[in-house]
Amino acid sequence: MSGRGRRRQDESGEAESLTKEEDAIARFLRFNCPTKVGNCNGNDFSYFIGLKAVDTLLESKKYGAEAKDPKFKTKGDCEYFIRTLIEKGAIFRAKK
């Protein structure tokens, strides 16, 4: 079978992995972002809207603009980080 369903890999052949900080923020996003439930081919799945994910990161007391050491100061910072998570395979982008 061809590698159609495999994760993207860099030139060295290894899949990119998350750093500890990225993993912690991804888990925070997973458990604190409001989700909806969808149905595709008879399977239920949970998903979230990108705007809600950006708002969750920006308004968080731990990582947002109001934190002691803010990781995300603007919406652009949040969008860039979420795109990084998509590229590394931590979250998936789905189309209706």
Task: Report whether pLDDT(5) > 90.
Answer: no
Helix (H) or strand (E) segment spanning residue 76? helix 75-88
Between CA 5 and CA 3, with CA 88 as vertex, the angle to 5 degrees is 20
Would you place residue 41 in the very low, low, confident or very high pLDDT band (cuts 50, 70, 90)?
confident
Output the pLDDT for position 3: 53
Segment 11-32 shows an average pLDDT of 82
- Please tell me the total number of residues recorded for the chain in this structure: 96
Distance, CA of 71 to CA of 47 (rounded, Å): 24
Q: What is the full DSSP assignment across 16-75?
A: P---HHHHHHHHHHHHHS--EEEEETTEEEEE--HHHHHHHHHH-TTTSTTSSS-S--SH
